[in-house]
Chain A
Amino acid sequence: MSAKGKTLYEKIWDAHVVAPLSDDASLIYIDRHLVQEVSSPQAFDGLIERGLKLRRPDAHIAVPDHAVPTFDRGKTDPLSMTAKQVARLEDNARRFAIPYMAMGDDRHGIVHIIGPELGFTLPGVTLVCGDSHTSTHGAFGALAFGIGTSECECVFATQTLRQSKLKTMRIEITGTLQPGVSVKDVILAIIAKIGTDGAKGYAVEYTGDTVRNMTMEERMTLCNMSIEAGARIGVVAPDETTFAYLKGRDWSPTGDKWLQAVEAWRHLPSDPGALFDKETSIDVTDLAPQVSWGTTPADCVPITGQTPVSALIKDQPAQERVRQSLQYMDMPEGANIEGTPIDQVFIGSCTNGRIEDLRRAAAIAKGRRVADRVHAIVVPGSEAVRLQAEREGLHETFRQAGFQWRQPGCSMCVAMNDDRLKPGERAASTSNRNFEGRQGPGGRTHLVSPEMAAAAAIRGYLTDVRTMMR
């Protein structure tokens, strides 16, 4: 804490310290916990083995999202491990009286999409989930971070976690985005600039006029990928946009409590004189759409750019990594990235599976056809997103263009269900990770925005969506 005032992170941290544990670590109270089928079974087992009760059932929501099928759900083999994981989550939710969002329920979807949709995510809270993209919820001015399964068990049993206090980093974003450029491009450019560990050890706060003008969905995309820059936490100060989004949602406070909550939330933004341990800025006025060429999210260039030349990289391990990355991706050195042929397109995920994402992709797809050799799927992030998209006719736009319209889930972002790349296949994907094998063993991923993914599907190769804008 600085003498001149506190940052948003410091305010929420200070308000949640239960007990100090060492010089840098404290026992922190956890207000909210999102539970999914893949990272929770062993945590529930631990609780059962200890004979402990779950301390606060009202502080949790359970939803299966990671491995659920996105089509032909009726044909799922109940003996498959995927079905068993889902059944186990449902059993555990019932046993411990946690609200459970079943597949097909109007409230079902990816954890990081439904938390905000339900108003379960609120400003000023500490929120955790056994999933690294929990940073998404920082868009509301919450301290939200991914945890391991042992920590999930700890939250079940104690509603607390041992946490080291992070340093703070401010990333100021200024300027107005050009048509065809979106927040996905902004966060990819930030990660390319600071590196995959550029924010490691820091809680990032995104500030600046660009952020103030963003919708909540855009702020979520921004905070979602904080982890790809090494930061477990990325936050945006809550404001009128935040309050307007939350008002009237299922879990949002009502009546006097709403007024009381908003009054408290207005005190959350960082004080004007608050000092950050590290600061950086980016002007996005001239930003071009970004696309990744390698196997970390920092390996991004503008669509007008080229792959790197490894011999020009002085640091030996970095040179070796770039060489191996390009080899894995089967990309030549120093070559234009535009024009790279693709096999599959994935539009969805906790990064880009919201209604505004689908609208932007549909605007590009409208009246056009997916290239013959391309397999393209659109996976809404939640039932609410799917239903809204269908009310707007977006599903018809996609279908007529040759995209498959699916049911919600993590799908090809994590490739735990049948949605995955075959060895050697190349995808343009709106997801968050281009790691080796992330979208299927031997698969190759190029990270892009929803409009860039739609453009790649139509042309059959990585292309500059700005040349397709009407």
Chain B
Amino acid sequence: MRPFKTVTSVAAAILQTDIDTDIIFPARFLVTLDKKGLGKYAFYEWRHKRESRDTFVLDKEPFSGAEILVVGEKFGVGSSREHAVWSLADLGIRCIIAPSFGEIFYSNCFKNGVLPVTLPKDAHAHAMRAAQLGETLHVDLITNHVAIPGAEAISFEIPADRRLALLNGLDEIGTILADHEHAIASFENRQRQSAPWLFSDTDF
């Protein structure tokens, strides 16, 4: 996984709250076997609204190259589809700032080198304004801060093990097998005794 240390970029602002993963990645594009090249489907309906004269923020300069998204609360609720994260990552998004996230989406971000930053409402509103003004934000996972020009840096919290995994670009499966293989095998041996009905191969 690509490590995440810092990102400095303009930020694309999407004001709406409750943006579910069906909006981020419409279901009909889930008939794919790939996880690369999905950026063209991100926010598909919103980017291709026939009646709308407004160009979607990610298709406007300078935001088409934004590596940061600032979005409304409850971002990524709904379906577990990891395609939502894959498509945003494919567009070059490295960090998403919101007051809150859908839990499965939040977890999926960490598997793909994308940093979800949860900010309290006031701090979030501040970041949103800066994004709308086209200012350059600096997100630093080494110090756990978001820096906005002309303002005090805002700190954010993130689970310690997830932070380390992102900073070092750790491969989760490789890490589990390297560090915990013995513990997993011991667990299985214990559970074969305590709950033998969960193992079909314990039938003789």
Q: Is the CB of A435 within 8 A of B17?
A: no
Q: Is the CB of A151 within 8 A of B31?
A: no
Q: How far is the CA of A27 from the CA of B100 in the complex (A)?
A: 24
Q: How far is the CA of A318 from the CA of B17 in the complex (A)?
A: 8
Q: Is the CB of B20 within 8 A of A435?
A: yes
**Known interface pairs A148-B104, A160-B176; A25-B77 also in contact (CB < 8 Å):** no
Q: Is the CB of B32 within 8 A of A435?
A: no
User: Per-residue 0/1 for A278-295: is the Cβ within 8 Å of any B Cβ (1 yes, 0 no)?
Assistant: 000000000000000001
> Which chain A positions have C-beta within 8 A of B16?
320-321, 324
**Known interface pairs A148-B111, A260-B196, A261-B197; A22-B160 also in contact (CB < 8 Å):** yes
Does any Cβ of B come within 8 Å of A31's Cβ? yes
> Which chain A positions have C-beta within 8 A of B151?
none
> Which chain A positions have C-beta within 8 A of B34?
42
Does any Cβ of A come within 8 Å of B169's Cβ? no
> Which chain B positions have C-beta within 8 A of A46?
173
How far does the Cβ of B191 sit from chain A's closest Cβ, in whole Å? 7
How far does the Cβ of B132 sit from chain A's closest Cβ, in whole Å? 14
Of the four ranges (under 10, 10 to 19, 20 to 34, 35 or more), the interface on chain B belongs to: 35 or more
- Closest B residue to A325 by beta carbon equals B18
**Known interface pairs A39-B80, A264-B195, A437-B23; A27-B180 also in contact (CB < 8 Å):** yes
The stretch of A168-176, A195-203, A345-353, A452-460 that contacts the partner chain: A195-203
**Known interface pairs A18-B187, A25-B161, A436-B45; A81-B31 also in contact (CB < 8 Å):** yes
> Which chain A positions have C-beta within 8 A of B26?
437, 441
Q: How far is the CA of A82 from the CA of B79 in the complex (A)?
A: 19
Q: How far is the CA of A22 from the CA of B165 in the complex (A)?
A: 12
Q: How far is the CA of A159 from the CA of B183 in the complex (A)?
A: 12
Q: How far is the CA of A159 from the CA of B173 in the complex (A)?
A: 10
Q: Is the CB of A148 within 8 A of B180?
A: no
> Which chain B positions have C-beta within 8 A of A25?
159, 161-162
How far does the Cβ of A57 sit from chain B's closest Cβ, in whole Å? 9
- Closest A residue to B74 by beta carbon equals A197
**Known interface pairs A154-B176, A160-B180, A162-B161; A38-B30 also in contact (CB < 8 Å):** yes
Q: Is the CB of B80 within 8 A of A130?
A: yes
User: Per-residue 0/1 for A7-26: is the Cβ within 8 Å of any B Cβ (1 yes, 0 no)?
Assistant: 00000000000110111110
How far does the Cβ of A115 sit from chain B's closest Cβ, in whole Å? 14
**Known interface pairs A23-B160, A317-B17; A197-B77 also in contact (CB < 8 Å):** yes
Q: Is the CB of B27 within 8 A of A148?
A: no
**Known interface pairs A58-B201, A317-B73; A132-B111 also in contact (CB < 8 Å):** no
Does any Cβ of B come within 8 Å of A183's Cβ? no
How far does the Cβ of B71 sit from chain A's closest Cβ, in whole Å? 12
Q: Is the CB of B81 within 8 A of A39?
A: yes
Residues from 171 to 189 in B contacting A, C-beta threshold 8 Å: 172-174, 176-177, 179-180, 183-184, 187-188
**Known interface pairs A39-B80, A148-B80; A27-B183 also in contact (CB < 8 Å):** yes
Does any Cβ of B come within 8 Å of A386's Cβ? no
Q: Of the candidates A124, A147, A230, A415, which one forms a contact with B27 in the assembled complex, judged by CB atoms under 8 Å apart? A: A415
Q: How far is the CA of A52 from the CA of B46 in the complex (A)?
A: 40
> Which chain A positions have C-beta within 8 A of B198?
31, 122, 125
Does any Cβ of A come within 8 Å of B28's Cβ? yes
User: Per-residue 0/1 for A51-88: is the Cβ within 8 Å of any B Cβ (1 yes, 0 no)?
Assistant: 01000001000000011000000000000111011001
> Which chain B positions have C-beta within 8 A of A162?
161, 172, 176
Q: How far is the CA of A232 from the CA of B108 in the complex (A)?
A: 14
Residues from 231 to 246 in A contacting B, C-beta threshold 8 Å: 232
Residues from 40 to 92 in B contacting A, C-beta threshold 8 Å: 45, 72-74, 77-82, 85
Q: How far is the CA of A295 from the CA of B102 in the complex (A)?
A: 16
Does any Cβ of B come within 8 Å of A116's Cβ? no
Count residues on chain A whose CB falls below 8 Å from chain B CBs: 78
How far does the Cβ of B124 sit from chain A's closest Cβ, in whole Å? 11
Q: Of the candidates B32, B107, B187, B200, which one forms a contact with A151 in the assembled complex, judged by CB atoms under 8 Å apart? A: B107
How far does the Cβ of B16 sit from chain A's closest Cβ, in whole Å? 7
Does any Cβ of B come within 8 Å of A131's Cβ? yes
**Known interface pairs A130-B80, A321-B17; A38-B180 also in contact (CB < 8 Å):** no
Does any Cβ of A come within 8 Å of B35's Cβ? yes
Q: Is the CB of A433 within 8 A of B78?
A: yes
How far does the Cβ of B23 sit from chain A's closest Cβ, in whole Å? 6
Q: How far is the CA of A45 from the CA of B178 in the complex (A)?
A: 21
> Which chain B positions have C-beta within 8 A of A258?
197
Q: Is the CB of B77 within 8 A of A317?
A: no
Q: Of the candidates A19, A85, A88, A433, which one forms a contact with B183 in the assembled complex, judged by CB atoms under 8 Å apart? A: A19
Does any Cβ of B come within 8 Å of A190's Cβ? no
The 9 residue pairs across chains A and B that have the minimum distance between CB atoms: A253-B197, A150-B111, A148-B82, A148-B108, A22-B161, A81-B31, A146-B80, A58-B200, A149-B82
Q: Which residues of B contact A (CB under 8 A)?
A: 15-18, 20, 22-23, 26-28, 30-35, 45, 72-74, 77-82, 85, 100, 102-104, 107-108, 111-112, 159-162, 172-174, 176-177, 179-180, 183-184, 187-188, 191, 194-201
11 A-B contact pairs sorted by A residue (CB < 8 Å): A29-B191, A42-B35, A67-B31, A81-B33, A147-B107, A200-B100, A201-B103, A260-B197, A317-B72, A324-B16, A420-B28
Q: Which residues of A contact B (CB under 8 A)?
A: 18-19, 21-25, 27, 29, 31, 38-39, 41-42, 45-46, 50, 52, 58, 66-67, 80-82, 84-85, 88, 122, 124-125, 130-132, 146-151, 153-154, 157-160, 162, 164, 196-197, 200-201, 227, 230, 232, 253, 257-258, 260-261, 264, 295-296, 317-318, 320-321, 324, 414-416, 420, 433, 435-438, 441-442
Task: For the A-B complex with A148-B85, A148-B104, A317-B17 known, give 18 more contacts whose Cβ atoms are closer than 8 Å.
Answer: A18-B183, A22-B161, A27-B180, A27-B183, A29-B188, A39-B82, A42-B82, A50-B174, A125-B198, A146-B80, A147-B104, A148-B107, A148-B111, A151-B108, A158-B173, A197-B73, A264-B194, A438-B22
